[in-house]
Amino acid sequence: MASLVTCPHCGARPKEEFTVKGAVLDRPTPDAPQETWFDYVYLRANPRGAYEEYWHHTSGCRRWLVVTRDTATHEIFDSRDAANRTKVTA
Ligand SMILES: [Zn+2]
């Protein structure tokens, strides 16, 4: 994994300042079937390649970020504030 992660607010920072919190998934609507909610809560794809994850800049600005990372090489392609999230990968 890259030793420096670029935070859109703080610039390049050591990866130890961040906490990875999990995959960026589209939340089902409140009235979605139980099976849809089960899949959302318990099932995850394990894709190879670019994948979006929520990262928290815990020891920095404490903002939530969406980081696009290669699951095979750990190369980071993009990081942006989660408030400005637009889905890039499936
Ligand atoms: Zn930051």
Q: Using one digit for the tens of pLDDT, what is the confidence trace for 41-62?
A: 999 888 999 999 999 999 999 9
Using only the alpha carbons of the chain, give its radius of gyration: 14
Mean pLDDT by 10 residues, the chain (90 residues): 88 96 92 96 91 96 96 94 70
74 CA → ligand 1 middle, Å: 20
36 CA → ligand 1 middle, Å: 34
Residues with CB under 5 A from ligand 1 (ion): 7, 9-10, 57, 60-61
63 CA → ligand 1 middle, Å: 6
Give the Cα separation of 87 and 2 in Å (integer): 22
Q: What is the CATH number of the domain that holds 50?
A: 3.30.2270.10
How many domains is the chain built from? 1
**What is the model's pLDDT at position 87?**
57
| Domain housing 81 | 4-89
